[in-house]
Structure 1
Amino acid sequence: MVASSPAVPAVDTVELAAASPDQPQPYRELGLKDDEYERIRSILGRRPTDAELAMYSVMWSEHCSYKSSKVHLAYFGEKTTPAMRQKMLAGIGENAGVVDIGDGWAVTFKVESHNHPSYVEPFQGAATGVGGIVRDIMAMGARPIAVADPLRFGPADAPDTARVLPGVVAGVGTYGNSLGLPNIGGEVVFDAGYAGNPLVNALCVGAMRTEDLHLAFASGTGNLIVLFGARTGLDGIGGVSVLASETFSDGTGRKKLPAVQVGDPFTEKVLIECCLELYHAGLVVGIQDLGGAGLSCATSELASAGDGGMRIDLDAVPLRASGMTAAEILSSESQERMCAVVRPQDVEAFLAVCAKWDVLANVIGEVVDGGRLVITFRGETVVDVPPRTVAHDGPVYERPVRRGPGQDALVADVPDRLPRPSGRAALRAEILRMAASPNLCSRAWVTDQYDRYVRGNTTSAQPADAGMVRVDEVTGRGIAVATDCNARFVALDPYAGAQLALAEAYRNVATSGAVPLAVSDCLNFGSPEDPHVMWQFQQAVRGIADGCALLGIPVTGGNVSFYNQTGDRAILPTPVVGVLGVIDDVARRVPSGFVRDGDTVVLLGDTRDELGGSEWAHHVHGHLGGRPPAVDLAAEHRLAGLLAASAARGLVTGSHDLSDGGLAQALVEACLVGGRGARVELPHPDAFVALFAESAGRVLVTAAPEQVDDLLAAASTAGVPAHVLGTTGGPALAVGPLEPLPLPALRSAWEGTLPALFDHPVPG
C-alpha cells in the first residue's frame, strides 16, 4: 500500500482575501493588537492574506518597527550637530553606522541584541547573534574585521546560569572563530536582575575604502532582485514577532525552539568573500541582509527605500524544507542569506561570482513601476501592499512615561549604613575578596575560548581596556572599540547612569591612545508597557544623546531590545554603549598593565566618597541604593584629550581606567596583566574610600621617571588633576601601610573564580 502525500495547503490569495472579509485570522497569536490589525485592513481595503499578515506582524513587531521607542530615539537626531556629522558617512536607519577615519578608509560598526533566543537555546541563540551582526556590517560594503560580546547573566552560582553561560560562550566562540574574526572585547556581568533573561549583545566592526560604501535600496526599474546564500527553511519563524516581544515565565524558556535560528558559520565565511568580490566588481546596486523578519524585511525595506515597486516570485526561492507556505517563506529567519539589487546586464557576472564561491544564488524578482510590493506563490498573488506601510510606516506609540513610586526609596537607601572594613588586615583581605568576585575576576575562562588574534591585525584585546585592530597595514592606522554599562548606576539614575556608561566606554578607548570618534548603543530594557520602564528608557536615551553632544561624537546606530523580563520583573535597565576611536599608528598604542619596572604610577582624576551602585556594595552586601557617582563629561573630554596627546608624545608607558572595583581593582589588574608589582600610597585620607570608591573620570597611568614632569605639566595645562602614587616593580602589590600582597596570591584569587564555577559538566 502506497502512503498518500500530505495535502498541499490552499493558497490564500489577494483575490480570495477580498472575497472573504470575515475569515478569522490569528493576528493576536502573531503579536498584533486589535487596533493594529484593523489598521492593516484599512490600509489594504480588505483583510490581509496569510502572507501579508505574516509580513505585517513581523515588520510591525517591537524588534523591527521600534514602535515604542521611535518617539524617544528621534532625540538622537535632534542633538546631532552638523559638526558631529562631518565624519559620519551613514547613520541611524541604515544597517550600521559608517564613519570616515582618514586616508580613504571608512569603518562601520554596530551592536545588537539576541537576548531571548539565547535564553531559549544558548548556543544557537548566541551564534546567530554573531552571524546577524556580521551580515549587517557586510551589507554596508565592508569586510568584517572584529567582533565583541557584551554579556550579562543571572547570579554566577545559579543553576540557570550554569545552563546558559557555557552555551552562549561556546556559540559566540564557535561562530566567530569559524569566520576567522578576532573577538577583541566585551563584558561578562552577573546580577540577579538578569536571572531568567540573560543579555547577549554582539558588536561587529568592518573596514572599507570610502568609495565601497553600499546602502539598502531598490532603484532602477527593470533591475533584478537576487537572493543568495543559504536555502530558506523553517528555523527562526516568529523570532522577532514572538520571542523578541515575549516576557518569559519561569520554566517556559525551552519550549520555543522552532523560533530560534540555526547558524552555519562556514556558509557565512564564503558569503563574506563572495560579497566583497561582488562589491569590488561593481555588480551591486543595493543590498540588504536577511536577519530579523527574513524576506519580509529585505523585500519591503529595499522597495520602501527605493524609487519604485517590486515583484517577487516565491517559487524561485531555494528551500530546504518541503511544503512551506508563503507566510513561512516570508517569515523564515534562516541565516546566511543576502538580497541584492542587480542591473540586468550584470546578472550573469553576479551569478558567476556566486558560483565561484559555491554560493547558491537565484533571481527572485525585479524592480517595477507602480510603488507596490507584489509577491506571487504557486502562480497566485499572495501579497500586494504599499511597501512603506510594511517597512517604515508602522504604528508609533507614545507609551505612558512615569517615574515609578519605588524610585525615591531606592535613591534614599544610601550605602553609608553599610559596615566598611577598617584596619590594615581587613582592608587587605577586602582587596583579595573583591579581586575574586564574579564581576571583577579574570575573564580568561571566557575569552580563552575566542580567537583574539586571528588575521594578525589585533594589537590589543581582553583584558585590555579597549580592543584595537590595525586597519591599514601600510600606515598602521587602526581603530579601538570598547563597550560598557553599569546597569546598577542606570537603575539609580537612568540619565546619569547612561552618561556614566558613555563616559566609561569613551574613557576606555582613550586609555588605549585612540581618539573617540563615534557611538553605537544597544538599549536593553523591560516591557515598554510599563510606564516606569519607559521613564528609564526615555531618561537613558536623553542621557546618551546629551552626553554625545557634549563630547562631540555622534550616535551612528544601534538597537532597542524591549520585553527583557521574567513575569512582571524587568531586568536592570542596561543601555550598553559602544565607542569607536581611531589611532594614527597602532604601534603607539598604550598597554593597560604595569609593563616596566621603575616607572612612576600617577592617578589622573579625583577620588570622592562615591559607593552608590558600586561593585563593593553589590558583591559584599547585596545592596543597591543611593546615587551613582557624579559624571562630568567636560572633565572626561579633557582627560581623553590628555591621554591621546600623551600617547602620541610617548609620555605614558601604561594606562588603565578606574571603574568597577575602584583603585584597588585597577591596581590588581595592572599588576597581573603586566606581570610585576608596585608600591603605592593612597590618594585619599580614608583608605577604604581611596581603594573602593568608583568615582568617574579617573585613569591610572605610568610614566618613565624622566617623563613624569612633562606628564604632570601636560595634565595641569589640560585641567586634569594628577596624583603621584608610587613606583612599579617587585614581586608584590604594596598599598600604603597594608602588608604587601604577593602576585601569586593575587593571581590565584583573580583567576580561580570562573573555572571553579564553570569547569564541569552541566547537570541534565
Structure 2
Amino acid sequence: MPLADSDHELVVAELGREPTPAEAALFENLWSEHCAYRSSRPLLSAFDSEGEQVVVGPGDDAAVVALPGEEDTYITLGIESHNHPSYVDPFDGAATGVGGIVRDTLSMGAYPIALADSLYFGAFEREHSRYLFEGVVEGISHYGNCIGVPTVTGSVAFHDDYEGNPLVNVACIGLIDDPERMVTAEAQEPGNKLVLVGNATGRDGLGGASFASEDLSEDAETEDRPAVQVGDPYTEKLLIEANEQLLDEGLIESARDLGAAGLGGASSELVAKGGLGARIDLDEVHQREPNMNGLEILLSESQERMCYEVDPANVDRVAEIADRYDLGCSVIGDVTEEKYVCTYDGETLVEVDAEFLGEGAPMNDLAMDEPTEPARELPDVDTKSGVEAVLSSPNTASKRWVYRQYDHEVQTRTERRPGDDAAVLAIRETLPEDTADEAGTGLAFSSGADPNWTDTAPYEGARAVALENATNVAAKGATPLAAVNCLNGGNPEKPDVYGGFGDIVDGLADMCSDLETPVVGGNVSLYNDSPSGPIPPTPTLALVGTKAGYDAPPLSLSGEGELLVVGDGALAGETTPGLGGSELLSQFGGTDAFPALPDNPGELVETVAEVADADSTLATHDVSHGGLAVALAEMVTEEAGATVEITGEASATELLFHEQPGRVVVETTDPAAVEEVFDGVAPVTRLGAATTEGTLSLSVEGMTVHLDAETVADYRATIADALS
C-alpha cells in the first residue's frame, strides 16, 4: 500500500526533499490507520481516562493503575487485536497476538499474571468458521500455556458478518509490586544506548501495520501470509524472566516492545515520546536470515523482541543477562538530541524528525450516517421451543471446549475460574509479610462484547456491553476499578459503517462515565471488511474490579436458598422489554428495539457487589446473553436446581428472553435483606426456591418447562459435540 499522494506532499514539505524508499515505507506504516488512528483518534476524546487510581493512562504500551488503598502495588492493563493475521493464519495470528500484549506488559515493568481472549467468528455451522475458530483457540492455548500466563476469562461470539473477517482481541493484566520497577516507553536521556534483546530478526511480518489497515481481499489467505508473524513462546518465556532480572537490577531506563512496524516503529516512538532522536546502525541488529536489506531489518515484525534504553555503564550487564537466558542482544544505537537516523552498510536510509514521524499523520474527517432504529416484528415462538433453541445456540452454549484448552491454574492466583461471570485473581502482594493467613485483594476480570447488541443498536448496545462487564465483576463482589477497550469496525470510509463505529465509541464512553470507571487505554482496529461485507461494530471491553479478599459466590446453585432477580424492570411491570439484539431473534428471525437500560447503573452495580459479598448470598449469576431462561439453566447442577414461577405484564417470550444487562439472579438465605438493600435502587422479584433435585422447573403463563441438569448439559454441548 503506497504512501497516499496527500501524505507524500506533507512528507516532502517537512523534509524539503523526496523521501528515501526506506523513509516512504516507514511513513506508510507509522501513518497507517493501525498505528496512527487517523479515523478514530478524533472520536476517542469521548473517553474519561482520569482518576486518582490512574498512574499511567492512554498512550503507552499499557496503562498502569494503583490498587485501592495500596501505595506500592500497581496493575497494568492492555488490550490488542490480531484480526487480519488470524484470518490468514489462525494459529500464528492468534498466538502472536498473545505474545504482543504480553510484551506490552513487560515494557511497563510488570509481570504478566492473566490473559483474556474475546473471539468473534462467522456462523458456527460453516466449515470455514469452525476452521478459524479451532486454529485461533489452539494458537492462544499453545502460546499462553507455554509462557506460563493463565487465560482466565473472555468471550466467544458467532455472527454471519464475521465470516470474511474474524476478530481476535486479547487483554493482559500485569503486576508491579514495587513502584520503583515501573518503566515507560519514553526515552530519558541523550547518550543512553538502545539495546535490542530477544529473538533474531527475520523477514516474517513485513508490512504488518499496513496490512492491518486495509480491507481483506479474496486471496488474503495466500497473498498476505508473509505479513503474518511467526511466534516462539519458549523464547517469550525466556524474555519474560530476563526482563524481570533487568528490572530487579535497575538496568532499564525505558522500554518498548517490537510490534507494528518492527524496530522502526518501536525505536522512533520511544525517542519521540521523550522529545529526542536516535542514531541506529541496522548492521548491528542480530538476524536469523541471510542477505536481509536495511528496509527489511527496519520493518520486520519478527516476534519476541524488546528495545531497551540503557545507561552505557549497564550495557555489558544487560548483555550478560541476555546471554544467561539464551537471548540475542545487540547494541543498535544511541539516544540523541537530534533527528531519528538509521544507517545500513554505510548509507543513511532514514533521517527524519521522530515526532513528525510518530505524530504528524493528519486525521481523517469522514462522513457519518446515523443508524436506523429497527421496527418491532416478533416471531411466534412457544416457550419450550424457545428455551431449546436458545440454550443450544453456539452463542449461549457452554464454552468449556475453549477454556479447558487453556491453563488457567498456572501461577496459582485463579480463585474463580473460567465459566463464571468473571474470573477472580488473588493479589497476595497487597498483604504485609506478617499476615500470611489473611487474604489480600481480589481482582475480578471480565472481557467481551455482543455483536447482536451493537449490530441492532450501536449506541445502546455499546452501553450495554459496558454495563454487562461491570455487572459480571459486581456479581462476584467486586466494584469496577478501570477498563481498556478494543474498538473494532469496518471500513470507515463508508458513512454507514463509520456512523455505527462512532456510536459504539460514544455508547461505551457514556456508560463507563456513568459507572465512574476510567477507560485507561485501548486499541482500535478498522478496515475489518471483506468481500462478504463489514463486521458488526464490536466494542470489546476488558474491565477489572477489586474486592477485599478472594472469596466470591459461585454461579452454580447450592439448593439451600431462595431465588431472586434484581434489576429486572420488566418482571416488576416497570418497563416493556425489547427483544432487539437477543439470541431468540437471531434464532427465529424478527426485529425489535433494544431493551431500555437502567438510569442509575453506577448505584446498581455497587449494590450488586454489596449483596454478592453478603454472608447470606449463596450464588449469583448475571442475566444477559439468552436472557433469564439461559441464566437460570446455567445455574443448575446435578445436585441443585430450582422451582421458578415467572409472571409479568409482558409476554412469556419477552420475559424469558430479553437481554437487558444489569440484572443478577441471587440465591440467598435472606431475601428480605436483599430487598431492603435494593430499595430505591432497582426492583427485586422473588422467583421461587432452590432445590436439591438438580432440575429446573420453569413456569410462565401457565406453561411449565422441566429441565434436568443432564438435559441442560446436552443442549449446551453444541460446540463440543461439533468439534469432538
Q: For the residues of structure 2 that align with 1:619 and 1:254, how far apart are their CA atoms?
A: 34
The residue number in structure 2 matching 1:11 is none
The residue number in structure 2 matching 1:234 is 203
Q: For the residues of structure 2 that align with 1:95 and 1:361, how far apart are their CA atoms?
A: 22
The residue number in structure 2 matching 1:712 is 675
Q: For the residues of structure 1 that align with 2:477 and 2:647, how far apart are their CA atoms?
A: 24
Q: For the residues of structure 1 that align with 2:26 and 2:368, how far apart are their CA atoms?
A: 30
Checking the alignment, whether the CA contact within 8 Å between 1:52 and 1:327 is kept in structure 2 is no
Checking the alignment, whether the CA contact within 8 Å between 2:80 and 2:170 is kept in structure 1 is yes
Could you tell me which of 597, 600, 603 is aligned with 2:565? 603
| 1:466 correspondence with 2:422 | yes
Q: For the residues of structure 1 that align with 2:7 and 2:424, how far apart are their CA atoms?
A: 46
Change (3 A) 1:342 1:683: farther
> Structure 1, residues 81-124: CA drift from partner, whole Å, max 9, x if none?
xxx42100111111111111133211111221100000000000
| 1:68 correspondence with 2:39 | yes
Which SS does the other structure have where 1:402 is aligned? coil
Checking the alignment, whether the CA contact within 8 Å between 1:54 and 1:330 is kept in structure 2 is no
The residue number in structure 2 matching 1:592 is 555
> Structure 1, residues 356-398: CA drift from partner, whole Å, max 9, x if none?
222211111111222x011111122111100011112222111
Which SS does the other structure have where 1:245 is aligned? coil
Question: Matches of residues 312-391 of structure 1 in structure 2 within 5 Å?
Answer: 312-370=280-338, 372-391=339-358
Counterpart code for 1:56: F
Counterpart code for 2:204: D
TM-score normalised per structure 2:
0.94
> Structure 1, residues 523-555: CA drift from partner, whole Å, max 9, x if none?
110001111122112222122222222211111
Counterpart code for 1:603: V
Q: For the residues of structure 2 that align with 1:605 and 1:504, how far apart are their CA atoms?
A: 12
The residue number in structure 2 matching 1:93 is 59
Checking the alignment, whether the CA contact within 8 Å between 1:415 and 1:617 is kept in structure 2 is no
The residue number in structure 1 matching 2:533 is 569
Question: Matches of residues 438-587 of structure 1 in structure 2 within 5 Å?
Answer: 438-472=394-428, 474=431, 475-567=439-531, 569-587=533-551
The residue number in structure 2 matching 1:723 is 685
Could you tell me which of 654, 657, 670 is aligned with 1:689? 654
Question: Matches of residues 634-649 of structure 1 in structure 2 within 5 Å?
Answer: 634=600, 636-649=601-614
Checking the alignment, whether the CA contact within 8 Å between 1:547 and 1:633 is kept in structure 2 is no
Q: What percent of counterpart residues are identical?
A: 38
Q: For the residues of structure 1 that align with 2:358 and 2:329, how far apart are their CA atoms?
A: 24
Q: For the residues of structure 1 that align with 2:93 and 2:480, how far apart are their CA atoms?
A: 31
Question: Matches of residues 429-440 of structure 1 in structure 2 within 5 Å?
Answer: 429-440=385-396
| 1:658 correspondence with 2:623 | yes
> Structure 1, residues 641-677: CA drift from partner, whole Å, max 9, x if none?
11222233323121100001101000111114x8521
Counterpart code for 1:651: S
Deviation at 1:593, TM superposition (A): 1.6
Deviation at 1:178, TM superposition (A): 0.5
Deviation at 1:251, TM superposition (A): 4.5
| 1:741 correspondence with 2:702 | no
Which SS does the other structure have where 1:653 is aligned? strand
Q: For the residues of structure 2 that align with 1:331 and 1:54, how far apart are their CA atoms?
A: 8
Deviation at 1:309, TM superposition (A): 1.8
Bigger Cα displacement from structure 2, 674-683 vs 519-528:
674-683
Which SS does the other structure have where 2:546 is aligned? strand
Checking the alignment, whether the CA contact within 8 Å between 2:488 and 2:528 is kept in structure 1 is yes
The residue number in structure 1 matching 2:6 is 35
Q: For the residues of structure 2 that align with 1:168 and 1:430, how far apart are their CA atoms?
A: 31
Q: For the residues of structure 1 that align with 2:42 and 2:444, how far apart are their CA atoms?
A: 31
Change (3 A) 1:252 1:376: closer
Checking the alignment, whether the CA contact within 8 Å between 2:426 and 2:550 is kept in structure 1 is yes
Change (3 A) 1:748 1:568: closer
> Structure 1, residues 538-580: CA drift from partner, whole Å, max 9, x if none?
2221222222222111110111100111137211111111111
Q: Which runs of 5+ in 2 are unaligned?
A: 432-438, 571-575
Counterpart code for 1:600: E
Change (3 A) 1:675 1:101: farther
Deviation at 1:493, TM superposition (A): 2.4
Could you tell me which of 632, 639, 642 is aligned with 2:598? 632
Deviation at 1:305, TM superposition (A): 1.0
Checking the alignment, whether the CA contact within 8 Å between 2:157 and 2:451 is kept in structure 1 is no
The residue number in structure 2 matching 1:677 is 641
Bigger Cα displacement from structure 2, 63-72 vs 207-216:
207-216
TM-score normalised per structure 1:
0.90
Could you tell me which of 146, 150, 170 is aligned with 1:178? 146
Counterpart code for 1:420: V
Deviation at 1:719, TM superposition (A): 1.7
The residue number in structure 2 matching 1:9 is none
| 1:196 correspondence with 2:152 | no
Change (3 A) 1:251 1:316: closer
Deviation at 1:74, TM superposition (A): 2.2
Counterpart code for 2:681: G
Which SS does the other structure have where 1:217 is aligned? coil
| 1:221 correspondence with 2:190 | yes
Bigger Cα displacement from structure 2, 470-479 vs 524-533:
470-479
Q: For the residues of structure 1 that align with 2:629 and 2:285, how far apart are their CA atoms?
A: 59
Deviation at 1:36, TM superposition (A): 1.0
Counterpart code for 1:681: E
Q: For the residues of structure 2 that align with 1:630 and 1:164, how far apart are their CA atoms?
A: 35
Q: For the residues of structure 2 that align with 1:701 and 1:366, how far apart are their CA atoms?
A: 60
Question: Matches of residues 134-283 of structure 1 in structure 2 within 5 Å?
Answer: 134-209=102-177, 210-242=179-211, 244-283=212-251
Counterpart code for 2:316: E
Deviation at 1:633, TM superposition (A): 5.1
Checking the alignment, whether the CA contact within 8 Å between 1:309 and 1:369 is kept in structure 2 is yes
Checking the alignment, whether the CA contact within 8 Å between 1:63 and 1:240 is kept in structure 2 is yes
Deviation at 1:269, TM superposition (A): 0.6
The residue number in structure 2 matching 1:25 is none
Which SS does the other structure have where 2:6 is aligned? helix
Checking the alignment, whether the CA contact within 8 Å between 1:224 and 1:363 is kept in structure 2 is yes
Which SS does the other structure have where 1:611 is aligned? coil
Checking the alignment, whether the CA contact within 8 Å between 2:452 and 2:583 is kept in structure 1 is no
Q: For the residues of structure 1 that align with 2:705 and 2:631, how far apart are their CA atoms?
A: 18
The residue number in structure 1 matching 2:695 is 732
Bigger Cα displacement from structure 2, 683-692 vs 175-184:
683-692
Counterpart code for 1:95: D
Counterpart code for 1:364: I
Which SS does the other structure have where 2:603 is aligned? helix
Q: For the residues of structure 2 that align with 1:161 and 1:569, how far apart are their CA atoms?
A: 15
Q: Which runs of 5+ in 1 are unaligned?
A: 1-28, 422-426, 760-764
Q: For the residues of structure 2 that align with 1:629 and 1:719, how far apart are their CA atoms?
A: 18
C-alpha root-mean-square deviation of aligned residues, in Å? 1.6
Instruction: Give the length in aligned residue pairs.
Output: 702
Deviation at 1:688, TM superposition (A): 2.3
Bigger Cα displacement from structure 2, 99-108 vs 504-513:
99-108
Counterpart code for 2:560: G
Checking the alignment, whether the CA contact within 8 Å between 1:121 and 1:254 is kept in structure 2 is no
Q: For the residues of structure 2 that align with 1:523 and 1:739, how far apart are their CA atoms?
A: 40
